[in-house]
Amino acid sequence: MDKYEQRAVLGGSFLMLVFFVAVVIATTGFGVTVPTCIVDVKPFKHGQLLKLADKHYELHAVAKMWSFDPPEVTIPPGSRLDIFLTSPDVAHGFNIEKTNINLMAIPGQVTYASVTFDQNEWGNFRLFCHEYCGMNHHAMQGWIKVWPAAALGATNQLAPVAAQQPTPAPAPASAEKPADTTTQQPNGGAQQ
Ligand code: CUA
């Protein structure tokens, strides 16, 4: 083998080794996780939050035109949240602000990712769609509320942030604001 050819082969091999080690370090040392397409879970129609153990929850999320089901969930700080995501219609995005969660909801498939919230960080984390999915794409959002039980009991009313949002919240909160109910539909999906 020509000596320059030999050097090129050795150099190339060395670089590949460096990149491989970098990937291993990134995944183990920095907690980078890549969303996984789950093949043994059938796409589901309804969202729900399951409590698996203390500070361990499983979220079955459905992204659809143009809302998330469930629209919001509340978990305590320090919780691990395993997310299973699907879509009944078109491709949507699923991005939880201030976390590494950045998923695609693909019709007919289930995507999985997991996030663990910091013990000392709590508040309302916005969840939004970042894949253009039609007319009301911009209004497609939800909330992951990370609140200690004590704070929940004290206020008994979450949503100081959500209340300021112009989004059609299909859920409660409207009880104390009977003012403008003209745009509120029971199904929450009829907004123009
Ligand atoms: Cu759903 Cu954009």
Higher-pLDDT residue of 107, 26: 107
For ligand 1, say whether the CB of 62 is within 6 Å of any of its atoms: no
Instruction: Answer whether the bond into residue 66 is a cis peptide, omega within 30°.
Output: yes
CA distance 171 to 68: 12
Question: Which alpha helices (H) appear in 30-148, and where do they start and end?
Answer: none
Nearest protein CA to atom 1 of ligand 1, as residue: 92
Task: State whether the beta carbon of 92 lies less than 6 angstroms from ligand 1.
Answer: yes
Q: What is the pLDDT of residue 180?
A: 41
Two tokens, residue 97: 């602000």
Mean pLDDT of 79-96: 94
Cβ burial 47-58 (10 Å sphere, 16+ → b, else e): bebeeeeebebe
In this structure, whether the domain defined by 36-169 belongs to CATH 2.60.40.420 is answered with yes
Per the document, the length of the chain is 192
pLDDT at residue 108 greater than cutoff 70? yes
Is the C-beta atom of 133 inside 6 A of ligand 1?
yes
Lowest mean pLDDT of 75-89, 98-112, 170-184, name the range.
Answer: 170-184
pLDDT digits (tens, 9 = 90+) for 16-73: 999 999 988 877 877 667 777 777 888 888 999 999 988 899 999 999 999 999 999 9
Q: Is the pTM of this model over 0.75?
A: no
In tens, the pLDDT along 160-190 reads 433 334 444 444 444 444 444 343 444 444 4
| Atom from ligand 1 closest to the CA of residue 63 | 1
Give the Cα separation of 107 and 100 in Å (integer).
22
Question: 133 C-alpha to center of ligand 1: Å?
Answer: 4
Q: What pLDDT sits at residue 191? A: 41
- Would the CB of 115 count as within 6 Å of ligand 1? no
pLDDT at 126: 94
Angular region, 108: left φ>0, alpha ψ -120 to 50, beta rest: left
Which ligand 1 atom is the nearest neighbour of the CA of 90? 1
Residue ranges with strand state E in 87-153:
92-96, 102-105, 110-116, 123-128, 141-146
Residue extents of the structural domains in the chain: 1-32, 36-169
Ligand 1 pocket member 140 (CB < 6 A): yes
